[in-house]
Structure formats: C-alpha cells, structure tokens
C-alpha cells in the first residue's frame, strides 16, 4: 500500500506543483502573493468545460482556449489593477489585498452569472485505472502528471535558456536597474502575468478533468501557496519541491495518522519551517524594505 | 519648554474631546437601536392572506436545494389557493435567503417573524441551522418546520428537553443509520463494512455512528473507518486504507457532489464493492456527476420523486418551471405547506400557537412523502425510502 | 424581545468590536493577519464554557475569553512576529485554519462540527451597546497614547523606530495581543447571541472580511473602520433583493478602493465635527466663488 500512497501523493502534489509554479513566478517578480491565482485557474476550468460541451471544437482546441483565456484574464488583472497600485507606490501588501478582492470578485461573478451547480468534464478520456502490480493509477492522473512534467520542463527552458527568461530574472532581481539597462520592465511583467495565468488555466483544466468544476474550486490554490512558502517564496524549483512534499505529506497523514488533523500537520510543518528557516527551503533572503 | 508643556495639554484635551465625541456617537447609535426595536412593524391583517415564511439557501453552493424548496412552496401555494385556500383565506409564501449560513439564516428567520409577520416558517434542510433556529422559534413563539434536518437535536435539545416550536418533516439520523445498517446486513448480505465519513459534518459523523451501532447489533463488523473533510477533492489516501481492509460494503455518508468524487476515485483504485449512502446522495445531479461509478449502489433517502405517487406534482413542477428537474426539497415544501393546511384546519383558527399545538398532535397526515404521525414528546417520526441505483436510474427498493 | 432590527444592530456592534481589534493591528501597526476570526472562535468557546460549565455571568465569560486569547496570542506572537509580512500572514492563516481543525476534532471540549450548543442568550442590545462604547473608548485612548504612537511608528518606519530605541518586538506583540482580546470579546458576545458556536462560523473567509472592512474604511482611521463595519454589515440585509450580488460588490469595492483610493474611505483622518464643518464650508465657498465669477 505504501507504493499506492506514494503514487497518490505524487499525483496530488503534481497538481499543486503546477499551481505553485504560477504563484512563484509572480512572487519572484513582484514580491506579492497573488490570491486570485486559484480563481484564474477556475476560470480556465470553466472555459474548458464550456468549450468542450459546446462540441464545436476538438478537445485540444478547447484546452488551448482555456489556457489562453486564463492567461488573458491574468494579464488584464495586471493591467487594470496591479499596475496602478505599483504606480501609486503603495506598499506591496496592497497588491495582495487587491488580489484578495479580485479573488472574491471572480469567484462571485462566476457564482452569480453561471451558477453554483457542479459540473464534470465530459469523458474525453475513459475513467480507467492502469494497474501495475497491485498499484492503481488513474489514466487521467498519468496524463496530467505527464503534462505537468513536460510543461515545467518547458518553463525551465524558457527561464534559464532564453533571452526572455534572462530579462525576467533581471527584472526580478532589481527592477530599477533592469529598467535602466533598457529592459521594458512593464512589458515583461505583463508577459509573466500572461504566463502565470496560462499555467493557472492549465491547472484548472487538469483539476476539472480530475475532479469537478465549481466556483470555489480555486480555493485549492491555498495549498499551492503554502507549498510555495514552504519551498521558499520566489523560488520556482522550491515551489515544485514544496508542492510534492506537501502532496505526499497530506496523503500519508490522511492515510496513516488522521485525516481530520491533516491540515493541522500541514500548518505545523509550515510554521516549523518558517521559524527555523524564515525564507523557506530555497527562498531568497529578502530584507524588509527600510 | 513652557510651549511644549502647553501644547501637550492642549493635545490631550483635544483627544479627550474627540474621544468624548466618539462616545457620544456610539451612544446615539445605541439609542437609535432602542428606538428602532420599539418601532411598530407591519400590522397583520385578520382576513388577509395567511403568510408562511421560507428560509433556505437561495445562493451559494447548496442553492439548488434551496431554490427547489422555494419553487415547490410557491407551486404548492398556488395549488392550495386554486382549491380554495386554507379556512377560506389565501396562502402567501414569503421566501428569504439564508445562504446556508447560521448568521444569515437567523437574521432571515427574525425578519420573517417580526417584519413579515409570518404564521410559521418552513425550512431549512440543514440540521446545524435548525439547531440554531429552534431556541429562537421558541422565544418568538412561531413554529419552524425543518425539512430534511435529520439531527435529533433539532427538536430535542441536548438535555432532553423538547423545543416546543421546532418541527421536522423528515426522519432522524438514528433511524436512517439503522435502516442503512439493515440494508447492508440483509439486502446486501454484508458481514464487513468500511466507512469513510466527513469529520467536518455533524450529519456525516452522526450517521456513521448510528450505522455502526446497528450494523454491529446485526452481527457485522466495521473493519475500517477513515475520515476526510468537506472541501477535499482527493480521497485516495483514505480509500487506499479502506481497500486494504477489504470490506464487503462501504458507507459514504456525504453530499452528492463529494460522493461522485469518492465513487470515481474508489473505482479508479480498483474498489468494486457497493457503496452506501444517506439522503445527502439524493439529487438527480448525482447520476450526472458520478456516472457509472455508482452503478449498483444504494442509498436511503426521504421519500422522493422515485415514488410514483409524486408524478402529478413532478409534472406540474416541470411545467411551471420550464422543465427544471425538481429536487426532493420541493416535495418537502409541498408537504410542509399541506401539513400546515391540515393542522390549521384541525385547529380551526389561524394563529401560531394553535398551529403549533395542531402540528404536535398530528396523528395521521398523508403527504406525498408518506404518512406522518408525530410523537408529541420528541416531534420525531419514521418514514424512509431505500433506493437502488441501476442503469443510471434510481429505483425504489422498499 | 430581539426584533429584526435590534438583532441587526447587535450584529453590527459585535462586528465593530472585532474590527476595532483588526484596525489596531493592521491599520495602525500594519500587521496583516488572517487569524483574527480564530481568536473570535477561541473567545467564543472559552466564554461558552465559562458560561455553561462554570455558570459564571457574562462579564466574567468575556474577561475569561479575553485572557485565554491574550495568552495564545502572546505565544503565537513570540514565534511568528519575527517573520516578514507575507510569511507572518501565512503563519496567521495557518494558525486560523488549525484552530478550526482543532475545534472540529476536539469533540469533548468544543462539541466538534456539531458545535457548542445551549449557550444562554445573554447578549442583547444593551450589553452590546455598552460593550461598543467601552471598546471604542479604550481603543481611542490607546491609539492616542504613547503606545499608539509607537504602533504608528512601527507602521511607518519600523527600522527607524528600532534605531531610536523603540522595542518594536514588544509593541508588535502588544498590538497582536490587544487585537486578539478584542476578537475574543466579540466572539463571546457572538456565542451568547446565537446560543451556538460552530467551527465554520470563524473561518478564513471571516478573517478576510475583517481585514477587507478595515482596508475599505481606511488603514489608519478608527472611525473609518467603524463606519465601514456598519455599512458592510447592514448593506446585505437592507439590500436583500441584491443579496446574490453582495459578495461580488464586496470584492469589487476592495479592488476599487485599493487601486483608486488606497487610504480607504477615511484615509488617515478621523471623523470629527471639524472635518464635517470644514467640508460644509468648502461647499458653500465654492458656491460663493461661482456666484462671484458669474458677476
């Protein structure tokens, strides 16, 4: 059974990882926690759902639409809300509050205009399980795991090996200097939001396929957020590691200790890590602005 | 130096004055409150329509039940009025949104009673909400009739004292747990059972407990009991543990949307035994969401639309609401209104107290959900319906 | 007995007390926390136990609840207040969720998810009215005292405050404890009004609502927070027709306020007769100026 639980844990963790990455991208750049991230994923899930049930597009086009839609929403939120706050020179906390407001707005907009009924994705893939020596893994899980790995690999390539990535990293390190060196920081911030939103959209679609689609589904991003803090806010590899660890921990606590106290363990772990290593496992050591 | 000292004392004086001003504002608010509470609200007319209140979740995650309830109530009121009303007077249903939150539900109830001057309130379907409403109903002396709120504490408080103004149409969980256990032992013939319950839901925890008690009495054994939490998406960790224990049947006392997830994940893990559930399963949505995963499963529920005598109301509902498939909650409200009618007619007068007494002394009320007889000591009654899911349709078993 | 409008005012009053706590912590000391609902819960449960098991009167329950909260806040603060803003927020969030989980699982003490029932209904408009008055009085004087000025120093320039010898750690902890005590006070009153305490009443959403209320009212304005509370509590009840849109409006309001008028509706100012008079004067002077121009 341990192997089964490992499989369960990695499967849960991979979803968290995809979400946590999007989170970490924005944090590394702007230093704030995008509370609306989960809700952008949720919008992606809904777009995917409607696109597929409309039966006009092949499923992969529907997915692309969902990802694009979420990305655009994220981009818009930056342009309309976050940019203004940055320009006002407001404290970084305000960005987070705006994100909180956006989260409430998006969730409730969907609730009001689309309704609270739960929806499931039509069966594009059969709900089958593949059995390998007594351990079961769902077909959807396998595929979502594969997609996650591929996407994260592409992201790594993008950030580490392209000029785009270089510009983003430069802006993340020091925005003023980067802008002095001629990098159009605003443009890159927008692009990162687009990228983060797209990742969120993909997470949403995968979540929708695995589970169900409903307005509050974005709340799962809290786990991603914790994973990111745990792994070190601002560090993308940290977020991924954190996500997998949290996924595994959740599964093992639920299975072997007490599912009711599962969240308690997660938070205790979190506080423990923060006390011992205040910037998380791989976090950058950031000083509070003087 | 002198200036500094003077400025300081002026500052302190100013802040004292400001704080005094704030205190004055606060006092004014309190006085306002006192005055408002003495305000005379709408006067009830003696020969006008009989107003019955409804509180349910008209928004939020469980809105589909709340909305169905309101729809059912309005339709039933229409029917009653067409047939002459109650004691010659028309019935008017006033519905407010409780959002399935204690605070909003309590506010809605108070408003219905003190501002809208309703005779009685029907609702809600959540035990935790009605447990909160019961003492207030007693205080305001207006009967509240819960629909599916199956926790015994809705009508009888934890010291065993009856809440005289709190009623319920459906059954209570101890009874439901028994029926489930008998279903497992007798109909399915299982000797071992697994349980996965929701630690965040009193309904789920209670039902599991009552099931276990009866199942053990029947000679069975609960070989694995695991918990999860409302809002969880992934139950595979817990299901893997249950799978190891290899029970012949698994109790899944959750709400239909969670049941869909649990069932699908169980099947994915290779669990093939039948699943059992309570009235939280009861929704046409269940089959849509869960698909083939719940083939051959069973659940107990309040008598619902699976019972053929409900067909006329079902058809009327579909017609009235543009082919919207009704939830059982609509049936509850329909019976609730007709029960109130029956009680008022027995009482012969239109007042909350007379209504209360008549409700308490119901010996036989035949609603679409079955025949009801109320136990005056506890306001409980026993009717149940077992459903078997086969070929994507619900069939009555008992 | 408690009519509908009276009930509303009671809830407004309870919310005001809780929000004052958050205002002191977040508005004046700039510590964002998502744990305040948890302290309400702690206060509510503690107060309930004192009332029902120990059969003590309400004021004792309130003081008991406040003491328990203060102790827990002190301990939590010692561990977490050294963390940077975002991390502190997550730690308080974790704390809040942990309290909820414990409340759901510790059946023997809290009644689990069923909740703690049978609390005597001791909260009425008089009790709440007096509580609100006292709460405001204490908060006002606190904020205008040396302690209050230290809070604000931490808010504006923590490093500088440290440099001139203000014990920032101690004052942060003090603000944290005070806000926890206010939350507990509100929690006890809450429990004694609904006669029931359920873990889901004090969840993350509630904590967020408290913070949002302070933001909208103005980070740095006590009266702003109070006005904001009154408005946001009454609005959904008075605009019941638009109840569906309430949370949506809430969210939009936050986004609008924080992007367009980040200091909230009141900014750093407090309501006072002077401000209102000045505002009216300004209106009139514009009129005379316009008249003057026309001539």
Q: Which two tokens stand for residue B222?
A: 């609960």
Give the single-character DSSP code of B388.
E
pLDDT higher than 50, residue B38: no
Average pLDDT of B266-291? 86
Domains and their CATH numbers in chain B: 50-171+308-383 (3.40.50.2300), 174-301 (3.40.50.2300)
* DSSP 8-state class, residue B74: H
Among all chains, which residue has been given the structure tokens 């392209």? A162
CA-wise closest residue to A261 among B314, C85, B6, B226:
B226
Q: Are residues A259 and B237, on separate chains, in Cβ contact within 8 Å?
A: yes
State both tokens at C152: 């604000």
pLDDT of B144 higher than 90: yes
Cβ–Cβ contacts within 10 Å for residue A191, how many? 17
CB contact under 8 A, B269 and A260: no
Phi then psi dihedrals of residue B96, to 5 deg: -130, 155
Residues contacting A174, CB < 8 A, separation 6+: none
Indicate which of C1, C2, C3, C98 best probes the interface with B, i.e. most B CBs within 10 Å of its own CB: C3
Q: Do B102 and C2 touch (CB under 8 A)?
A: no
Residue pair A178/A170 in contact (Cβ under 8 Å)? The answer is yes
Mean local confidence (pLDDT), A278-282: 70
Which residues make beta-bridge pairs with A135? A132
Token representation of residue C125: 């408009």
Instruction: Reply yes or no on whether the pLDDT at B193 is more than 90.
Output: yes
Distances (CA, A) of A206 to A61, A148, B232, B280, B333: 15, 9, 16, 27, 39
Neighbouring chains of B at 3+ CB pairs within 8 Å? Answer: A, C
C-alpha distance from A61 to closest chain B C-alpha (Å): 24
Q: Torsions phi, psi of A276, nearest 5?
A: -75, -45
The whole-number pLDDT of residue B37 equals 46
Distance CA B310, CA B375 (A): 25
In the block, residue with structure tokens 């999860």:
B228
| Distance from C-alpha of B124 to C-alpha of A77, rounded to nearest angstrom | 39
**DSSP letter for each residue of chain C:** ---HHHHHHHHHHHHHHHHHHHIIIIIIT----S-HHHHHHHHHHHHHHHHHTS---HHHHHHHHHHHHHHHHHHHHHHHTTS-HHHHHHHHHHHHHHHHHHHHH-HHHH-GGG-EE-------HHHHHHHHHHHHHHHHHHHTSHHHHHHHHHHH-HHHHHHTT--HHHHHHHHHHHHHHHHHHHHHHHHHHHSEE-GGGGSHHHHHHHHHHHHHH-TT-HHHHHHHHHHHHHHHHHTGGGGGGHHHHHHHHHHHHHHH-TTTTTTT----HHHHHHHHHHHHHHHHHHHHHH-
> Does the pLDDT value for residue B43 go beyond 50?
no
The answer to whether B341 touches B326, Cβ cutoff 8 Å, is no
Q: Cβ contacts (< 8 Å) between B243 and chain A: which residues?
A: 1
Report helix, strand or coil for B203: helix
* Cβ neighbours for C11, distance < 8 A, ≥ 6 positions apart: B103, B107, C193, C233
3-class secondary-structure state, position B390: strand
Contacts of C76 (CB under 8 A, 6+ apart): C35, C92, C95, C176
In the DSSP assignment, the letter for residue B101 is: -
Q: How many CB pairs under 8 A join B and C?
A: 135
Percent share of chain B, pLDDT over 90: 22
Q: How far is B277 from chain C (nearest CA, A)?
A: 20
**Strands of chain A, DSSP E:** 129-132, 135-138
CB contact under 8 A, B200 and C113: yes
Cα distances (angstroms) measured from residue C263 to each of A198, A216, C276: 32, 30, 19
Evaluate if residue B195 carries a pLDDT over 90: yes
Strands (E), chain B: 50-56, 91-97, 120-122, 144-146, 166-168, 192-198, 221-228, 249-251, 275-277, 298-301, 365-367, 370-372, 385-390, 393-396
* C-alpha to C-alpha distance for C112 and B216, rounded to whole angstroms: 24
Indicate yes or no: CB of C1 within 8 angstroms of CB of B139. yes
Q: Residues of C188-209 as b/e, b for ≥16 C-beta within 10 angstroms?
A: bbbbbbbbbbbbbbbbbebbbb
Evaluate the CA torsion angle A248, A250, A252, A253 in order and state its sign: positive
- Which residues in chain C are contacts of B111 at CB distance < 8 A? 4, 237
Residues of B with Cβ-Cβ distance to C8 under 8 angstroms: 107
What's the CA gap between A125 and C199, in Å, rounded? 39
CA B200 to chain C, closest CA, distance in angstroms equals 5
* Average of per-residue pLDDT across B307-321: 88
The model carries a pTM of 0.81
- Residue A42's pLDDT band, with cuts at 50, 70 and 90, is very high
Separation of alpha carbons A198 and A71, rounded Å? 4
Closest among B180, B194, B186 to B248, alpha carbons compared? B194
Res B44 pLDDT > 70: no
CA dist C38 to A225, C11, C207, Å? 20, 18, 8
Judging contacts by C-beta atoms under 8 Å, the chain B residues touching residue A111 are 59-60
A interface test, pick of B240, B260, B272 with most A CB neighbours within 10 Å = B240
Distance CA C295, CA C293 (A): 5
Domains in chain C and their CATH numbers? 4-268 (1.10.3470)
**How distant is the Cα of A93 from the closest Cα of chain C, in angstroms?**
8
Interface of B with A (CB under 8 A): 59-64, 199, 226-229, 231, 233-234, 236-238, 240-241, 243-244, 257, 260-261, 264-265, 267-270, 285, 288-289, 291-293
Q: Which residues contact B218 (CB under 8 A, 6 or more apart)?
A: B181, B182, B184, B185, B186
Phi/psi for A285 (5° steps) reads: -85, 105
- Tell me which chains share at least 3 CB pairs under 8 Å with chain A: B, C
Quick check: A116 and B60 CB within 8 A? yes
Cα dihedral sign, A212-A213-A214-A218: positive
Of the pLDDT bands very low, low, confident and very high (cuts 50, 70, 90), residue B237 is confident
Enumerate the β-bridge partners of residue B94: B53
> Are the C-beta atoms of C9 and C125 separated by less than 8 Å?
yes
Confidence category of residue A289, pLDDT binned at 50, 70, 90: very low
Residue B21 to residue C272, Cβ atoms within 8 A: yes
Task: Kindly give, in sequence order, each residue whose CB lies less than 8 Å from that of residue C25, ignoring residues fewer than 6 positions away.
Answer: C31, C33, C36, C175, C176, C178, C179
Interface probe for C, chosen from B24, B53, B110, B117 (most Cβ of C below 10 Å), is B110
C-beta separation of A267 from C94 below 8 A: yes
pLDDT, block means (10 residues), chain C with 295 residues? 75 93 87 92 93 87 93 91 80 88 84 79 86 90 84 75 76 91 94 86 87 83 87 74 71 82 63 61 57 45
The answer, yes or no, to whether residue A288 has pLDDT greater than 60, is no
- What percent of chain B is modeled with pLDDT above 70? 86
pLDDT at A127: 65
pLDDT-derived band at A200 (thresholds 50, 70, 90) equals very high
Domain ranges of chain A: 15-218
Nearest to A267 among C97, C245, C253 (CB): C97
Say which of A94, A225, A275 has its CB closest to residue C262. Answer: A94
Given this model, what pLDDT does residue C271 score?
Answer: 60
* pLDDT value of position B253: 93
């Amino acid at each position: 059974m341990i192997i089964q639980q490992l499989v369960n844990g990695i499967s849960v963790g991979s979803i968290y990882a995809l979400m946590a990455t999007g989170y970490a991208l924005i944090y590394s750049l702007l230093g704030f926690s995008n509370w609306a991230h989960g809700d952008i994923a949720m919008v992606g899930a809904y777009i995917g759902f409607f696109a597929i049930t409309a039966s006009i597009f092949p499923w992969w086009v529907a997915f692309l639409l969902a990802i694009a839609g979420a990305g655009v929403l994220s981009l818009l939120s930056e342009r309309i809300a976050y940019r203004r706050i940055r320009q006002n020179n407001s404290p970084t906390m305000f960005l987070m509050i705006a994100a909180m407001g956006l989260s409430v707005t998006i969730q409730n907009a969907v609730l009001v205009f689309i309704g609270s009924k739960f929806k499931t994705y039509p069966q594009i893939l059969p709900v089958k399980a593949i059995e390998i020596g007594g351990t079961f893994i769902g077909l959807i899980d396998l595929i979502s795991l594969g997609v996650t790995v591929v996407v994260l690999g592409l992201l790594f390539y993008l950030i580490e090996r392209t000029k785009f990535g270089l510009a983003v990293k430069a802006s993340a390190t020091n925005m003023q200097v980067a802008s002095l060196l001629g990098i159009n920081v605003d443009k890159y911030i927008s692009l990162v939001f687009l990228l983060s939103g797209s990742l969120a959209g993909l997470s949403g679609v995968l979540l929708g396929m695995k589970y169900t689609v409903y307005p509050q589904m974005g709340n799962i991003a809290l786990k991603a957020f914790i994973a990111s803090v745990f792994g070190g806010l601002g560090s993308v590899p940290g977020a991924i590691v954190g996500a997998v660890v949290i996924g595994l921990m959740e599964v093992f606590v639920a299975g072997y200790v007490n599912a009711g106290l599962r969240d308690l363990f997660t938070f205790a772990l979190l506080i423990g890590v923060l006390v011992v290593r205040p910037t998380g496992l791989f976090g950058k050591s950031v000083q509070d602005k003087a | 130096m002198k200036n500094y000292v003077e400025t300081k004392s002026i500052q302190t004086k100013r802040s004292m004055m400001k704080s005094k001003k704030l205190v004055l504002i606060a006092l004014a608010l309190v006085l306002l409150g006192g005055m408002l509470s003495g305000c005379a609200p709408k006067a009830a007319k003696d020969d006008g329509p009989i107003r019955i209140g409804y509180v349910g979740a008209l928004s939020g995650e469980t809105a589909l039940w709340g909305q169905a309830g309101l729809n059912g109530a309005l339709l039933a009121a229409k029917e009653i009025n067409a047939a002459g009303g109650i004691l010659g007077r028309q019935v008017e249903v006033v519905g407010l949104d409780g959002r399935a939150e204690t605070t909003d539900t309590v506010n809605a109830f108070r408003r219905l009673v003190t501002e809208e001057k309703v005779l009685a309130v029907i609702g809600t379907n959540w035990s935790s909400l009605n447990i909160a409403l019961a003492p207030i109903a007693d205080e305001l002396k207006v009967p509240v009739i819960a629909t599916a709120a199956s926790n015994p504490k809705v009508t009888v408080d934890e010291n065993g004292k009856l809440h005289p103004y709190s009623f319920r149409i459906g059954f209570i969980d101890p009874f439901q747990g028994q029926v489930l256990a008998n279903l497992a032992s007798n109909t399915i013939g299982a000797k071992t059972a697994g349980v996965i319950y929701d630690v965040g839901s009193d309904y789920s925890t209670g039902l599991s407990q009552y099931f276990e008690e009866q199942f053990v009495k029947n000679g069975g054994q609960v070989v694995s009991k695991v918990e999860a939490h409302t809002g969880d998406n992934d139950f595979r960790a817990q299901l893997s543990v249950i799978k190891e224990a290899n029970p012949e049947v698994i109790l899944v006392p959750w709400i239909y949307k969670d049941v869909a997830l649990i069932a699908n994940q169980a099947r994915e893990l290779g669990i093939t035994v039948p699943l059992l559930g309570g009235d939280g399963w009861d929704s046409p949505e269940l089959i849509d969401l869960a698909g083939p995963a719940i083939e051959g499963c069973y659940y107990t529920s309040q008598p619902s639309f699976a019972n053929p005598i409900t067909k006329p109301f079902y058809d009327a509902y579909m017609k009235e609401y543009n082919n919207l498939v009704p939830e059982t909650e609509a049936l509850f409200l329909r019976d609730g209104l007709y029960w109130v009618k029956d009680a008022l007619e027995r009482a012969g007068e239109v007042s909350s107290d007379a209504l209360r007494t008549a409700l308490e002394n119901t010996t036989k009320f035949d609603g679409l959900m079955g025949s009801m007889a109320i136990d005056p000591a506890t306001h409980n009654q026993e009717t149940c319906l077992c459903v078997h899911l086969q070929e994507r349709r619900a069939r009555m078993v008992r | 007995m408690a009519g509908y409008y009276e009930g509303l005012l009671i809830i407004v009053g309870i919310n005001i007390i809780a929000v004052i706590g958050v205002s002191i912590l977040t508005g004046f000391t700039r510590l964002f926390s998502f744990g305040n609902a948890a302290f309400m819960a702690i206060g509510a449960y503690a107060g309930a136990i004192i009332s029902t098991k120990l059969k003590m009167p309400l004021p004792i329950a309130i003081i008991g609840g406040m003491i328990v909260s203060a102790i827990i806040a002190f301990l939590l603060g010692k561990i977490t207040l050294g963390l940077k803003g975002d991390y502190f927020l997550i730690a308080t969030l974790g704390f809040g969720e942990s309290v909820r989980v414990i409340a759901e699982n510790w059946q023997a003490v809290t009644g689990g998810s069923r909740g703690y029932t049978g609390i005597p209904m001791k909260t009425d408009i008089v009790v709440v009215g007096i509580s609100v008055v006292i709460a405001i009085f204490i908060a006002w004087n606190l904020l205008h005292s040396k302690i209050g000025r230290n809070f604000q120093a931490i808010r504006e320039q923590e490093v500088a405050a440290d440099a001139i010898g203000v014990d920032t750690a101690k004052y942060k902890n003090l603000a944290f404890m005070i806000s926890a005590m206010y939350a507990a006070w509100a929690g006890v009153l809450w429990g004694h009004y609904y006669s029931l305490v359920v873990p889901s009443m004090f969840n993350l959403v509630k904590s967020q609502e408290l913070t949002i209320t302070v933001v909208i009212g103005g980070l740095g304005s006590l009266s702003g927070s109070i006005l904001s509370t009154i408005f946001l509590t009454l609005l959904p009840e008075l605009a019941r027709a638009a109840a569906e849109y309430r949370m949506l409006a809430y969210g939009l309001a936050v986004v609008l306020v924080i992007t367009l008028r980040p200091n909230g509706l009141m900014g750093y100012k407090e309501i006072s007769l002077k401000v209102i008079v000045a505002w009216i004067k300004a209106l009139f002077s514009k009129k005379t100026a316009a008249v003057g121009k026309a001539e």
